[in-house]
Amino acid sequence: MQKFMWWALLAAICVTIVYFILSVSYLTHGGRGSLFAEQVQTEDQQLQRASLSVENVLSQALGSQRLQDSEEKIILFWFVPYGSDRTVPLEYLHETNNVTVNNSDKEIFVDSKICGNCRLAFDRKLISKSDAVVFYAHDVKWGPHEIPHNSLRQQKQLYIWWLQESTAKVPFRTKAVPDFFFNLTMSGRRSSGVHSPYSTLPWILKMLWNKKHGRDIMHFIAKEKDVKLTDPESLNKAIDSVPVNSFAAANTDLHQTNAELKTLLNYKKGLVAWIVGNCGYFPSARLRFEYADSLRKYGLKIDQFGRCSGVPFPIASRWDPSFNKVLSTYKFYLAFENSYHCNGYMSEKLWYNALYSGAVPIVFGPLKDDICAALPPKSYIHTEDFKTPEDLVKYIY
Ligand SMILES: *[C@@H]1O[C@H](CO)[C@@H](O)[C@H](O)[C@H]1NC(C)=O
Ligand SMILES: *[C@@H]1O[C@H](CO)[C@@H](O)[C@H](O)[C@H]1NC(C)=O
Ligand SMILES: *[C@@H]1O[C@H](CO)[C@@H](O)[C@H](O)[C@H]1NC(C)=O
């Protein structure tokens, strides 16, 4: 796997776990709000086959037994996320999510303020004690010996199908998994049972905030809005209600004065950057090259890096803070996904390469609806807002 993917995947795992914890505790708090309001959409037959309908799961999960905060909940990852070398993800989680890692026991304890009493586990022996078992979609393809034996399954358990990558690249059906094996889906698709995007705006802001202050923006928002961190429903509402530039009112330096903006713009010597390594091996990856070529044809100057151009990006490692620093010298970043109109799929290109670096993303691939739901207006440029590539080039110059 490419290095930059690692970084994105690790970040994704953190976002996912926080979302997941919030969702599980939301379930256990007995709510029936927006999280599960949308149904699995009919046009996606594959997803429907892969899981029971959300409505069904809801009534089952919320029906009779509501877990108490004091009850321990075990969330078992049947496949260790992203391979056998779990030391890296666990350490990363530890730093960013305030969880205690017990390597010797293959477990992570989550701050009780976030989740009543949660354990994230990787030890398959815990299967019958687990409240939820998470299967990463890519890994569910090796054959029946790789999924738990039917006799181990408990009625009240939720089996969860998890995917962070593009659905275009994942085999949905495999002989290993019978129909209705999964109770919930967890992915970037907004109608998933547990919505788990690659990243979110609050998360990016949190990372920027942390970078500057070594503090946690969730605590900050909770305090400002007078909600409890242990009340995910209110906390989510509070996060949603914070307009991006309202951080100014809170006297944080995420807000920029006109003078600061001027300095920032002076710092931006480049126009458009694009790092791309998948040189169009499948149809939708090829589409983005065609689009970029037509932008060039109408005069857009693009600094392209990566395998396909033969010009390596000056910073080799995604982990190196200079990676984003170099990108932040550009005004725009081509956040061109390798999947076209794949529901809910927005990758590290949008979140980390562009937004986290302070470069305005020029988006190609994701659905307009998904982008609108994720980002405030004027924080991105969507290629589909322009009739032709020529119009877009005119807009930029
Ligand atoms: C992590 O948890 C500890 C103990 O609960 C708390 O004192 C600390 O402020 C938390 N740190 C962050 C970054 O949330
Ligand atoms: C970590 O796991 C080991 C081995 O099971 C156990 O002895 C130890 O008490 C655990 N540590 C914590 C902090 O729970
Ligand atoms: C999960 O799905 C299985 C298989 O369809 C089903 O037997 C079980 O009751 C479901 N569990 C919950 C908690 O909904």
Residue 37 has pLDDT above 70, yes or no: no
Query: What pLDDT score was predicted for residue 382?
Result: 98
Query: What pLDDT score was predicted for residue 193?
Result: 85
Strand order through the sheet with 194-195: 99-102, 107-110, 118-121, 73-77, 132-136, 158-162, 184-187, 194-195
- Ligand 3 centroid to residue 116 C-alpha, Å: 24
Return the structure tokens found at 246.
């309202």
- Average pLDDT, stretch 77-96? 52
Domain ranges of the chain: 6-195, 201-396
The count of C-alpha atoms lying within 13 angstroms of the C-alpha of 22, restricted to the half-sphere facing its C-beta, is 25
Atom 12 in ligand 2: which residue has the minimum CA distance?
102
Beta-bridge partner residues of 336: 364
Calculate the dihedral angle through the C-alpha atoms of 346, 347, 353, 357, rounding to the nearest 10 degrees. 60
The DSSP call for residue 256 is -
In the numeric block, the tokens 């999960």 are attached to: 61
Query: What pLDDT score was predicted for residue 224?
Result: 72
Cβ of 103 below 6 Å from ligand 2 = no
pLDDT digit string, tens, across residues 227-251 = 876 776 777 677 666 654 444 334 3
Residue 15 has pLDDT above 60, yes or no: no
Residue 356 pLDDT class (50, 70, 90 cuts): confident
Mutational pocket test of ligand 2: of 105, 112, 118, the residue with most ligand atoms within 8 Å of the beta carbon: 105
Residue of 270 and 98 predicted with greater confidence: 270
- Ligand 1 centroid to residue 153 C-alpha, Å: 36
- Average pLDDT, stretch 307-316? 88
Type of residue at 377 = P
Query: What pLDDT score was predicted for residue 344?
Result: 93
- Distance in angstroms (rounded) separating the CA atoms of residues 158 and 204: 30
Residue 46 pLDDT class (50, 70, 90 cuts): very low
- Average pLDDT, stretch 111-135? 77
Contact 134, 162 (CB under 8 A): yes
Strand order through the sheet with 330-336: 302-305, 270-275, 330-336, 360-364, 381-382
pLDDT digit string, tens, across residues 171-217 = 666 667 888 889 998 888 988 888 888 888 877 876 776 666 545 55
CATH of 201-396, one of 3.30.70, 3.40.1350, 3.30.450, 3.40.50: 3.40.50
In the numeric block, the tokens 């956040």 are attached to: 335
Mutational pocket test of ligand 1: of 93, 98, 212, the residue with most ligand atoms within 8 Å of the beta carbon: 98
Of 140, 145, 179, the C-alpha closest to 163 is 140
- Ligand 2 centroid to residue 81 C-alpha, Å: 21
Residue 61 pLDDT class (50, 70, 90 cuts): very low
Contact 139, 162 (CB under 8 A): no
Atom 6 in ligand 3: which residue has the minimum CA distance?
155
Contact 364, 383 (CB under 8 A): yes
Residue of 20 and 176 predicted with greater confidence: 176
- Average pLDDT, stretch 372-390? 95
Query: What pLDDT score was predicted for residue 202?
Result: 73
Closest atom of ligand 3 to 157 CA is 13
Percent of the chain exceeding pLDDT 70 equals: 60
Query: What pLDDT score was predicted for residue 47?
Result: 36
Atom 13 in ligand 3: which residue has the minimum CA distance?
156
Looking at every residue in the chain, the average pLDDT score rounds to 72
- Distance in angstroms (rounded) separating the CA atoms of residues 131 and 321: 38
Mutational pocket test of ligand 3: of 52, 152, 185, the residue with most ligand atoms within 8 Å of the beta carbon: 52
Type of residue at 183 = N
- Average pLDDT, stretch 241-265? 56
CA Rg value for the chain: 21
Contact 161, 185 (CB under 8 A): yes
- 3-state SS assignment for residue 195: strand
- Distance in angstroms (rounded) separating the CA atoms of residues 107 and 3: 26
Alpha-helical runs (H) found in 312-367: 321-327, 348
Atom 5 in ligand 3: which residue has the minimum CA distance?
180
Query: What pLDDT score was predicted for residue 91?
Result: 43
Q: Other CB atoms closer than 10 Å to residue 219's CB: what's the count?
A: 13
- Distance in angstroms (rounded) separating the CA atoms of residues 396 and 381: 10
